[in-house]
Amino acid sequence: MTPVTQPPPPGQPPYGNYPPNQYGAPPYGFAPPDHPQAMLVLILGIVGLVVCGLAAPFAWTMGNRVIAEIDASNGQLGGRSTANAGRICGIIGTCILGVSLLVVLGAIVVVLIGAATA
């Protein structure tokens, strides 16, 4: 009795015959090291969003710099998604910080106007 083999699904290479790497990406199992400050940007972004809004602008600016360095490294540094997540948290935290400062400033102006007219 001979074993029955099924043909591969249409449009896919046969099992075991993988095409060569066409785009110059590193082979499977290899990941470049993360940028040393990618995790710091993520931590600053989360802290700026959740605990202390003053850290958010630092996460935004550091995230922009770290992402630019990762892009300039031509694949030698990883951690772009980590730094990008921290940068986005920094952007959101900075917007919340700005709106809250406007609300506080508006409340102070209303109190001062109310005290002046009373």
Domain ranges of the chain: 38-113
Q: What is the reported pTM?
A: 0.70
pLDDT at 76: 86
Regions in the chain scoring below 70 on pLDDT: 1-2, 7-29
From residue 93, how far is each of 40, 84, 86 by CA, in Å?
A: 16, 14, 10
38-50 vs 80-117: helix crossing angle, rounded to 10: 30
pLDDT at 32: 84
pLDDT at 17: 59
Quote the tokens at residue 115.
């005290």
pLDDT at 52: 87
pLDDT at 19: 60
